[in-house]
Structure 1
Amino acid sequence: MFMERIKTGIFGLDELIGGGIPKGHTVAVIGPFGAGKTTFGLQYLNHGLLNGERGIFISLEEESESIVRTAESFGWKFSEYVKNGMLTIIKLDPQDARATMTRIEGDISQEIREFGAKRLVF
């Protein structure tokens, strides 16, 4: 059975996992501080953005400016993507768990659909 796959844009990874992430699947990237989890997510988003796919980055820790700076340190033009409506960054407050969960279950799900995001990093 053929399963459509989404390329990550991460050198060597797509080949190791059969051509990319299976479309519609959720992938958890787990590791300690400094392991590259954020970089992995940003590179995945950047690959989609380069191919005309809209993306959303949801953060519980970093402010949007910090995320953009990190991406741009790799040469990825995230400030341009935000300005031209291809990328949105959502900052949630981990201190207010109830409001965050309510937002995830309602507002954010709707925002993802309305924005037309093809790639989501949380």
Structure 2
Amino acid sequence: MTLPGFDNCYVVDIILNFFMARTNTAGTVRMDPNFNRQAHPEYFVDSLGRSRVAWCGKASIHHVRYCPKNEHSAELIRLYHDRRQVADEDKRDFNMQMNTFWYYRNHMKCKATVSLTEPTLKRREALGFTDYFY
């Protein structure tokens, strides 16, 4: 369903990667400490019924991968990379733990297939999405 008054925005339940929100609204959803490193879908599942979410395809955010030059920049860059770039084994263990917590904490069942309409598939393809997970 499109968002009234915003032709390129759609009402959704979960979005990926980043979002903007009013502090008063976003602060009512408490983060589960088991998901302190990555918790985008978990946040939105916890906020179902308490927040309104829209996806607008024209928004673009660029991630700055470096720090401005100052006396602390080398240390900040090292800390950033240590946090973001984890070993494959650690990443696999982390993802397995995340998946386990995800289904148990939300009393959810896994759906093996995703049914998307043809216009949605074309729109996702045009935006560069190659998978069918939201």
Which TM-score bucket, shorter chain as reference?
A: under 0.3
Of Structure 1 and Structure 2, the greater strand share is in: 1
Structure possessing the higher radius of gyration over alpha carbons: 2
- Give the alignment's TM-score, normalised by structure 2: 0.26
Give the TM-score, by structure 1 length.
Answer: 0.27
